[in-house]
Every structure is written in structure tokens, then in C-alpha cells.
Amino acid sequence: MKVICTEKSQLLATNLARALKTSVVEVKYSCFPDGEQYLITGELDDETVIVGSVVDNDALVQLILLIDACEGSDNRLVLPYMAYARQDKRFLPGEPISARAVAQVLSRGVSEIITVDIHEKGVLKYFGKPARNISLARDIGSYIKSLHLSNPLILAPDEGALTFAGHVASAGGWEVDHLEKTRLSGVEVKMAPKQLCAASRSVVIVDDIISTGGTIATASGMLYQQGAKDVFAACVHGVLTGGAYVHLMTAGIRELVCCDTIECGNSRISAAGQIARTIKNADSKEQ
Ligand code: R5P
């Protein structure tokens, strides 16, 4: 078995290969003068773990090309982050089910898909192959433990994220609560006022995705107004679009921690261990 990856998942793929005690196949990526992507892989094995985060449209195309280049091997696809997963249904007539469209394209040429904290588990049914999701909530909990905060409050920005926040909180037996978020637009959210037990406490806001940072910044403002001592933010997928990091720091976030499903300067938690365990367990069950 060998690991291979797109340009956006080099760190995670390397860590995963170490955890699986194998190597990463080198790939040369380039572009034609008209912008079309090109790639060529090194020597493949009979079994390949393809790691490719779909962080943008270019990453999606590169992943489609990489899967095609791996034809002839038994391919498992690790999709650490899946853009378009938030459009998992038709909200208005005439819209695409983008998650379904992307899932179907990526299923061709692979035998199995592993996703990481996919925004909506219902998306798994759109893949044409067996698909499973793993969660890094407990890994985030372990990281928070290493900060040695005294009696922190773990906070989900909306009810939908409460189960995730609960798993984070279980790492330290901490208290967990949630806010009520209404999305006004792609960049604007409204939080219903809620009295929290935040006074003089450290609060860690946890979410699956931080995109513009609007959700966390709004929540942080509310928490400081209620006398929070300091506010931390943790997520799996640090999309951090449009100046999000600066926005969060300006909003008083003491530290932002993300996982390496999207590789950035704040990727302090690796998904590699859990992905490797999932692959090893599946292989031992097959034998
Ligand atoms: C939405 O349901 C997600 O779980 C996140 O809360 C959302 O993507 C965060 O977006 P932003 O950082 O732009 O507020």
C-alpha cells in the first residue's frame, strides 16, 4: 500500500504514510499555458490511499485527475475536507444538490471513501461507493486538555454543532452549551442573546468549519460582553476565507486551533492517526 496526494494535502498525506508505515508516491503537478492542470505520478502500488482535500475548484479538478491517474490500483479515497458539502439539498427550486454532484464525480475510480467531520452525514449516501465519516472532536478535546484551562466552558455556535461540542467536552468532562445562530448571508450571522455561565471563565467555541470567521467573531463579542476571561476557537476545517484569521484575532480570540484537513498555519491537530486506524481496522476485518 502507498499513499498519494494532491498539492493541498501534502502534510496530512505524509503524516498518514508514517502512521501506516509506508511511503508517499511523488507527483509532479503543473499547468498548461491555458490554465488546464496536468500531473504525472511516480510508480504506483497495487493498493493506493489517495488523499485530497477539496478546498477549492482547482483542488477538485486536481483530485479528479489524480484518481484517474491511479487507474489500475485498488484506490481508497480520503477526503479530509469536502467543499460543496454545505449545499447538501435543494434549498430553492432550480438549485443543484452540489454535494451530490461532487460526491458522484469523486466516486468513480475508487472502491471506498473516508471523510472527516463531513458537514452533513447525509452526504455520505451520495457517494456511489461505501463511504464512512470519522470525527476529530475527541482529538480537539485532547488538544484543549493540553492548554490546562481551569473549568472551561465548551460552546457550540448553534444547536446543530452541539453533538460535536459534546464529544469535545467529554475529553475533560467539561460543561457544554450552545448558542442560537441565524445565518443572514454568506458572511453575516445573528446570534440570539443568551445568558451563559461565561463570567470570569475561559470559553472554547468549537465548530466543524470556520469559513469567514463571522460565526465565531459574533459569539466572541457576546461572550466578552458577559465577562468571559478569554475566548478560544477550535475547528476541524479552517477554511479561513477573506481575512478570517485577522477578523478572529481582532474579535479577541486568544488562540485559534484547526486540524490538518485544510493545511494552514493553525493546523495543530492531525487527522492522520484516526485515518490510519480506520484503514488498518478495515483491512484487518477483511482478512
Ligand atoms: C455551518 O453550519 C458551519 O457549521 C459553520 O458554522 C459555518 O460554516 C461557519 O461559517 P463562518 O465562519 O463563515 O461564520
189 in ligand 1 pocket by Cβ < 6 Å?
A: yes
**Over the stretch 35-72, which tens digit does the pLDDT of each residue have?**
999 999 999 999 999 999 999 999 999 999 999 999 99
Q: Which of 116, 117, 81 is nearest to 102 (CA)?
A: 81
Nearest atom in ligand 1 to the alpha carbon of residue 158 is: 6
Is residue 21 part of the annotated active site? The answer reads no
Task: Please write the tens of the pLDDT for every residue from 111-161.
Answer: 999 999 999 999 999 999 999 999 999 999 999 999 999 999 999 999 989
- Please check whether residue 106 is in contact with residue 115, taking contact to mean a CB–CB distance below 8 angstroms: no
**Beta strand ranges found along 80-188 (DSSP E):** 112-116, 131-134, 153-156, 175-178, 181-183
Ligand 1 closest atom vs CA 241: 13
Given a cut of 90, whether residue 283 has pLDDT beyond it is no
Query: In sequence order, what are the residues at sequence separation of 6 or more whose Cβ sits closer than 8 angstroms to the Cβ of residue 196?
Result: 153, 155, 177, 203, 223, 226
Please state the atom number of ligand 1 nearest to the C-alpha of residue 214.
Answer: 14
Q: Which of 2, 21, 181, 190 is catalytic?
A: 181
What pLDDT is recorded for position 193? 66
Contact 237, 81 (CB under 8 A): yes
Q: Residue 188's pLDDT band (boundaries 50, 70, 90)?
A: confident
| Ligand 1 contacts CB of residue 238 (under 6 A) | no
Q: 240 pLDDT band (50/70/90 cuts)?
A: very high
- Determine the pLDDT at residue 286: 74
Cβ-based neighbours of 145, under 8 Å, separated by 6 or more:
171, 172
For atom 10 of ligand 1, the residue with the nearest CA is 211
Q: Residue 21: which of 280, 226, 221 has the closest Cα? A: 280
| pLDDT over 80 (residue 187) | no
Ligand 1 proximity of 62 Cβ (cutoff 6 Å): no
DSSP 8-class letter at 240: -
239 CA to centre of ligand 1 in angstroms? 10
Residue 120's Cβ-count burial label (10 Å; 0-12, 13-18, 19+) is middle
Query: Does 180 have pLDDT greater than 90?
Result: no
Question: What amino acid is encoded at 71 in this protein?
Answer: E
Stated as kind and residue range, the H or E segment containing 233 is strand 230-238
The mean pLDDT of the chain is: 95
211 pocket-lining for ligand 1 (C-beta < 6 Å): yes
Of 215, 220, 235, 239, the residue with max ligand 1 atoms within 8 A of its CB, to mutate for a pocket test, comes to: 215
Q: Find out whether the beta carbon of 212 lies less than 6 Å from any atom of ligand 1.
A: yes
pLDDT band (50, 70, 90) for residue 191: confident
Please report, rounded to a whole number, the percentage of residues in the chain having pLDDT higher than 90.
91
| End-to-end Cα separation, the chain, in angstroms | 15
279 in contact with ligand 1, CB cutoff 6 A: no
139 phi and psi angles, rounded to 5 deg = -65, -35
Q: Using the CB atoms, write b or e for 195-226: b if 16+ within 10 Å.
A: ebebeebbbbbbbbbbbbbbbbbbbbebbbeb
Identify how many contiguous H helices and E strands the chain contains and give both numbers: 8, 15
User: Average of pLDDT values for 17-39?
Assistant: 98
Q: How confident is the model at residue 192 (pLDDT cuts 50, 70, 90)?
A: confident
